[in-house]
Chain A
Amino acid sequence: MSDRLHVGTRKGLFELERGPGGWDIVSTHFLGDPVSAVLQSADGALLAALDLGHFGAKLWRRSPAGEWRELAAPAFPPKPEDAADDPHPWSLGRIWALQPGGVPGRIWAGTMPGGLFRSDDDGETWQLNEPLWRMPDRRRWMGVAGGEQPGISAVLVDPRNPADIRLGVSTAGIWATTDTGATWSLINQGMYNEYMPPGQEGDPISQDIHQIAHCAARPEVMWCQHHNGVFRSEDAGANWRELAAIRPSKFGFAVAAHPHDPDTAWFVPSAKDERRFPVDGQVVVARTRDGGRSFEILRQGLPQRHAYDLVWRHGLSVDPDGRRLAFGSTSGGLWVSEDGGESWAAPDARLPPVACVRFAGA
């Protein structure tokens, strides 16, 4: 089980360890600066993406020996003249997802405004995935968070085949490659939206994928927290079935898939789009253990009175064993479970708004 947890917040990176007395913050980094993504690699190095309000998106790496150093952040190439009508900027907005690529040294970075970057040297240098970025359909991607920029919120790499990758895009559906990004296709069927004009409800590219996750042991089983509901796929994201049993509500941002059991997943529902806080002010986790046919409401140890916490896309994590979970909220709440979500405990901290939570090794 993972004994280390990283929490990226609006005002710094917090590192927690599990000691004899439970989970506690053991170190802080970048205090005052927004941290948008974090990844601990297999060798113990730590990558942290900063989203500096004035000075742009940055990337830092802590060596296994503990030394922080700034790396060159992913950057877009010069914008050509024939791209003058591109609705999205050719400049890095935010690093939103960092994911190991399944081969030594490789890391994928999903970003706003929708660029996918690849490193083959542990993050030292980055290359834009040109086929995806120069694809004409990319200009149809829609912005999130006030219509600003589209973002790649998830990069799912098949543990059996590093060439097989799925991207969850908010807002542009799910994109697939089976050749390490040389070619891409929009694959998601079966989703619907309630925010587009009549006739476009089922349009794959207009699906707002808040987050997707797959079962590491059975990666063809995927789960999605969509803007309009919760969905499951059993064919690696091609066809999706809505899980109408989700409760207490179908809106939310985060999802975690059990790494071994393809029938188990966790969600943290919020009341609805226009009321982004927990139903009745009670923080709960919804868990299914039967492939989404039914959901349990887990609330032991979570605030059940006047709680208005929202959990963002990267705010929920499950450890590689599938027993420990953690999630953090926009109100600075942080809760950890050691028993698959049955019960939760809050470390002694009042954190800034939480953007991302991730166990080491997850």
Chain B
Amino acid sequence: MPTVSFTRALERFLAAPTVAVEGATLGAALDAVFAERPALRGYVLDDQGALRRHVAVFVNGQLVRDRDRLTDPVAADDEIHVFQALSGG
């Protein structure tokens, strides 16, 4: 199963531990995480289900391409990292 891990910056607001989930796309994998932790969804996705503008998601170290519909494929051994995009001052 792919694993999903989250930036530790989220720990100030809510628990976001690394988890292994079922899912053949980024969207399916994240949905599986949010099914267990619904409050986490709004920190990663906007109201329309797209990645937040200042959230960066990597699959095996590569930035994902489809930020709106989250269709990037993920395989059983893939590692998904949800980070803060660099911004601000």
Name A residues whose Cβ lies closer than 8 Å to a Cβ of B. 32-33, 52-56, 58, 70, 72-73, 75-76, 78-79, 89-92
Interface of A is mostly: loop
Query: Please, how many angstroms separate the alpha-carbon atoms of A125 and B88 in the complex?
Result: 31
Q: Shortest CB–CB separation between residue A77 and chain B, in angstroms? A: 8
CB distance A79 to B42 under 8 Å?
no
Query: Please, how many angstroms separate the alpha-carbon atoms of A312 and B33 in the complex?
Result: 39
CB distance B47 to A92 under 8 Å?
yes
Given known contacts A70-B14, A70-B39, A75-B42, A54 and B48 CB-to-CB distance under 8 angstroms: no
Q: Which residues of B contact A53 (CB under 8 A)?
A: 54, 87-88
For residue B55, CB closer than 8 A to chain A, the reply is yes
Q: How large is the interface on B (under 10, 10 to 19, 20 to 34, 35 or more residues)?
A: 20 to 34
Query: Please, how many angstroms separate the alpha-carbon atoms of A78 and B46 in the complex?
Result: 11
Q: Which residues of B contact A72 (CB under 8 A)?
A: 42
CB distance A54 to B13 under 8 Å?
no
CB distance B47 to A55 under 8 Å?
no
Q: Which residues of A contact B55 (CB under 8 A)?
A: 54-55
Q: Which residues of A contact B10 (CB under 8 A)?
A: 55
* Number of CB contacts from chain A to chain B under 8 A: 48
Q: Which of A54, A58, A75, A79 contacts B52 (CB 8 A)?
A: A54
3 closest residue pairs by CB, A with B: A91-B47, A91-B46, A55-B43
* Besides A70-B14, A72-B42, 20 new A-B residue pairs in contact (Cβ under 8 A), listed by A number: A53-B87, A54-B9, A54-B54, A54-B55, A55-B10, A55-B13, A55-B43, A55-B52, A55-B54, A56-B42, A56-B52, A58-B13, A58-B42, A73-B42, A75-B42, A79-B48, A89-B46, A90-B48, A91-B48, A92-B46
In the complex, the chain B residue whose C-beta lies closest to that of A53 is: B88
A33, A53, A55 pick with most chain B CB within 10 angstroms: A55
For residue B84, CB closer than 8 A to chain A, the reply is yes
7 A-B contacts, Cβ less than 8 Å apart? A33-B12, A53-B54, A53-B88, A54-B85, A72-B42, A89-B46, A91-B48
Q: Shortest CB–CB separation between residue A275 and chain B, in angstroms? A: 23
Q: Which residues of A contact B46 (CB under 8 A)?
A: 56, 89, 91-92
Q: Shortest CB–CB separation between residue A48 and chain B, in angstroms? A: 13
CB distance B13 to A78 under 8 Å?
no
Q: CB-CB contacts of B43-85 with A at 8 A, as 1s and 0s?
A: 1101110101011000000000000000000000000000011
In the complex, the chain A residue whose C-beta lies closest to that of B10 is: A55
B42, B54, B88 pick with most chain A CB within 10 angstroms: B42
In the complex, the chain A residue whose C-beta lies closest to that of B84 is: A54
Query: Please, how many angstroms separate the alpha-carbon atoms of A76 and B46 in the complex?
Result: 9
Q: Shortest CB–CB separation between residue A112 and chain B, in angstroms? A: 13
In the complex, the chain B residue whose C-beta lies closest to that of A79 is: B48
CB distance A78 to B43 under 8 Å?
no
Query: Please, how many angstroms separate the alpha-carbon atoms of A90 and B48 in the complex?
Result: 7
Q: Which residues of A contact B44 (CB under 8 A)?
A: 55
Q: Shortest CB–CB separation between residue B6 and chain A, in angstroms? A: 11
Q: Which residues of B contact A90 (CB under 8 A)?
A: 47-48
